């Protein structure tokens, strides 16, 4: 399975990183080896001094598809989750400045947190989901999927032009404002509404 990740999908996070508003979503892939194993801490890798948390709504694909029209996209997933796209920001900045791909900064082992899943049916609309990340019990990021530049069904249409979606694939839908560095002994806790979906200790 693969993790398909979207960058710059919230205007406030674009402003924060001083990026231009894109005409197309930014897309990158993480391999399955990037998934942080359940109940394991996140170890800050030795090649970075500035690993950032990016909390993101996740969508789990449950049907094979290619060239999926946004009208039918809702038939391709029935679970919504929450995760973290850990990013070695110092390394990413260096790669960006050289025009190089971001994989080393975003796709390393442990860089993808996938929390518990919730049934899609438990939401009135997937385009109105409140979520937040707490660091040491203080809210550091919060968002709502209605703030997405590309909504979930549009993302499925877009990414399925390039990649066949397979059962079990996960889409990371981009992060809202508030990204920031993690330090040893921090605890990151993610919520959709009042439901806690993960808690990760940083080592
Ligand atoms: Zn991200």
200 CB-near residues (< 8 Å, 6+ apart): 36, 41, 42, 84, 113, 187, 188, 189
* Token representation of residue 151: 């909504």
Which pLDDT score, from 0 to 100, does residue 199 have? 98
In the numeric block, which tokens belong to residue 200?
Answer: 């990760």
Which pLDDT value is given to residue 3?
A: 98
Buried (b) or exposed (e) across 104-132, using 16+ Cβ within 10 A? bbbbbebbbbbbebbebeeeeebeebebb
What per-residue confidence (pLDDT) applies to 29? 97
Are 75 and 63 in contact by the 8 Å Cβ rule? The answer is yes
pTM score of the predicted model = 0.96
CA distance 90 to 75: 39
Q: How far is the CA of 182 from the centre of ligand 1 (A)?
A: 15
CB 83 within 8 A of CB 69: no
Average pLDDT over residues 61-90: 98
Asked whether the predicted pLDDT for residue 116 surpasses 80, the reply is yes
Q: Ion ligand 1 — residues with CB under 5 Å?
A: 54, 85, 175
pLDDT confidence of residue 5: 98
CA of 88 to the centre of ligand 1 (A): 11
Element (H, E) at 157: helix 152-162
Q: Encoding tokens for residue 105?
A: 């900064």
Q: Give the Å distance between the CA of 86 and the centre of ligand 1.
A: 7
Residue 13 has pLDDT above 80, yes or no: no
pLDDT computed for residue 15 by the predictor: 72
């Amino acid at each position: 399975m693969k993790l398909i990740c979207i960058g710059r999908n919230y205007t406030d996070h674009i402003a924060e990183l001083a990026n231009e508003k894109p005409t197309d979503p930014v897309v990158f892939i993480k391999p399955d080896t990037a998934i942080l194993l359940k109940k394991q801490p996140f170890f800050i890798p030795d090649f970075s001094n500035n690993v950032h948390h990016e909390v993101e709504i996740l969508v789990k694909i449950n049907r094979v598809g290619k060239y999926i029209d946004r009208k039918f996209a809702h038939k391709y997933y029935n679970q919504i989750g929450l995760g973290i796209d850990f990013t070695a920001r110092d390394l990413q900045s260096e790669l960006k400045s050289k025009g190089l791909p971001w994989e080393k900064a975003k796709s390393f082992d442990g860089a993808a947190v996938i929390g518990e899943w919730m049934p899609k049916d438990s939401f009135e609309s997937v385009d109105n989901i409140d979520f937040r990340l707490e660091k040491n019990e203080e809210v550091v990021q919060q968002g709502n999927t209605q703030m997405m530049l590309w909504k979930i069904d549009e993302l499925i249409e877009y990414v399925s032009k390039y990649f066949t979606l397979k059962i079990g694939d996960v889409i990371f839908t981009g992060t809202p404002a508030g990204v920031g560095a993690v330090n040893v002994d921090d605890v990151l806790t993610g919520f959709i509404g009042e439901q806690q979906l993960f808690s990760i200790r940083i080592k």
